[in-house]
Amino acid sequence: MERDREEWELDNFPEGEVKEMVELYESTGISKADAESIVGSFSKYKKQFVDLMMLQELLITPPEGSPVLSGLTTFLSFMIIGSLPMITYIGSIFHMERNQNTTAVIGPLAVGFITTAVTSGALVMTNW
């Protein structure tokens, strides 16, 4: 959405977008002449210039990984995490009748949470 807006602005008001980027570079201590040279070079390449604006002007980084894999991982994580309390509760009904040890109920739930976090992190290739 933001990318579409930046592309539209670049197509319809290129001078304004170039001016914004020059001002951004000047605010970091780069001289106006050097900033104009840098931005002038980048503005010749629309995709790269929009990427640069997204990153430096809006502080939006490009997405990493597959959106389908990320969505599937999130869905499965919610399903697994959502079912763990119910499974533990149902299991505790039978367990509590025989033994009042809550560690036997909480332990599997904790292991399930940790396993799900590690697995989902591995699937989307991020640290948990």
Q: How many other C-beta atoms are found inside a 10 Å radius of the C-beta of residue 113? A: 14
Q: Is the dihedral of CA 26, 32, 34, 36 positive or negative?
A: positive
Residue found under tokens 């990493």: 64
Residues 87, 108: Cα–Cα separation, whole Å: 10
Q: Which residues in 49-61 are b (16+ Cβ under 10 Å) and which e?
A: bbbbbbeeeeeee
For residue 20, give both structure tokens. Answer: 């914004």
Residues 14, 21: Cα–Cα separation, whole Å: 11
Identify the pLDDT of residue 78.
82
pTM given for the model: 0.49
pLDDT digits (tens, 9 = 90+) for 45-83: 888 888 888 887 777 777 777 888 888 888 888 888 778
Residues 7, 4: Cα–Cα separation, whole Å: 5
pLDDT digits (tens, 9 = 90+) for 11-25: 888 888 888 889 988
